[in-house]
Structures are given as C-alpha cells and as structure tokens.
A and B are shown apart, each in its own frame.
Chain A
Amino acid sequence: QVQLVQSGPEVKKPGASVKVSCKASGYSFNDHYIHWVRQAPGQGLEWMGWINPSSGGTNYAQKFRGRVTMTSDTSISTAYMELSSLRSDDTAVYFCARDGSEYLFLYMDVWDKGTTVTVSS
C-alpha cells in the first residue's frame, strides 16, 4: 500500500540543524511531489514547502527561506527536510505528505504520522 515512513524523534540545541527523512513506498516516488508541514504543540498546521523528487525542484514558504533545504534521493525513494539555525519555536511535529496528483495538485493525500523535533538547551 502507499506509505510514507519518517525518521524518529530528534532533540536539538538552539542553533543546531535537524534533518528529517521520509521514505516512500507503494507508488512511483518520482511521480508525486512531497510536501513538508509542521505543527507546533497544540497549534494548527503550517506548510513549509514542497520538492519535486524527480527534478529536485523546490518551493519554500517565505518564512523558511534561507533556513530550510528539501532534497530527495530517488535511488532509495526518500525525501529529506533539513532545518537550520533552530530556535525553541521550531519545536513541532514535522510531517511529510504526498501531493495528491502527478501534476502538482497542492492537496495532500498521504501523510506519515510525523517526526517530533524538540529544540531545547
């Protein structure tokens, strides 16, 4: 079945970087963009950007430009999201989600359960 599986929880100090992975299975990884969305504790959903796995093209929310890097490795059907210069307000659950179409649908039809990133000194 179609599935995304993310890496495990992370604890980082302020100023550090974190890299979260998202491994896809059950479909053609190259054919669907991958979005990254985060959710701070008790808060709503915040879109961070997307990556086109086959071309490596990206589009980031302005808020994260300069701090976020999204990459992909098609040989292992895995997408990555790296966030640098971490602050305490980056503490959140980070989700990867599949775009719902091969043509950049911009709705997200498959999600993993998320990776908790805690930023604390």
Chain B
Amino acid sequence: EIVLTQSPAILSLSPGERATLSCRASQSISSYLAWYQQKPGQAPRLLIYAASNRATGIPARFSGSGSGTDFTLTISSLEPEDFAVYYCQQRANWPPLTFGGGTKVEIK
C-alpha cells in the first residue's frame, strides 16, 4: 500500500499570502496524484488531478506540480474561502486508493 505523507500538518498564513503544501509518496506514483479541499462539515472538493490539472471551475490561483514521489499544491494568494484542510490522493497503485493525512491551512 502506498503511504502519502503530507506536510506541514498545519500552515498558518494570512490572506494574500502564498501557500505551499507538500505530499510525499512512499514509492513512485508517476503523476497519478490528486488534491482535494475540505471545509468543516462539507464533502471534499476535487481541485487538481494528474498532479497538475485543475478540475472544472477551480480558480487559477490553485496549481499543482511534481512527479515521482514529491508533489506540491500551491495557492498563489490566499482568499478567505481557501482556509480549509487539503488532502492528496494517489491512484497509481491500487487497491486501495490512498489519501494523505491532510494539511490544515489556518488563518494566522
């Protein structure tokens, strides 16, 4: 089973700042990685798939990069609605599909 490790666990930033979130895989997963955003009491929302492709309707301030074992989600300038928990998910080696433990982006 592929383990995804996200860091940091908590990221404290102010609106307008740049957020950089990391996801590391326990073995190479090529570009088979997605990012989701989850707000309290809500379902996850797909942001990025195949490492760098924005899902439908996702603002351009969200970008994904990486391949192999190291991946990054960047939010170029945080908006108030971006404060949430972010999860990465791999589909390279399944079952099972696996998720990272999450990074909480909180207001500083």
Contact = CB atoms under 8 A, between A and B. Distances in A.
Contact of A108 (B41, B44, B50, B102): B44
B71 interface: no
Interface string B40-52: 0111111001100
B99 A107 contact: no
B99 A113 contact: no
Contacts of B100: 44
Q: Interface size for chain B: under 10, 10 to 19, 20 to 34, or 35 or more residues?
A: 20 to 34
A107 B95 contact: no
Contact of A63 (B46, B89, B96, B99): B96
Interface string A94-119: 01010010000111110111100000
Given A95-B43, A111-B44, A61 B95 contact: yes
Interface stretch (A11-19, A45-53, A68-76, A81-89): A45-53
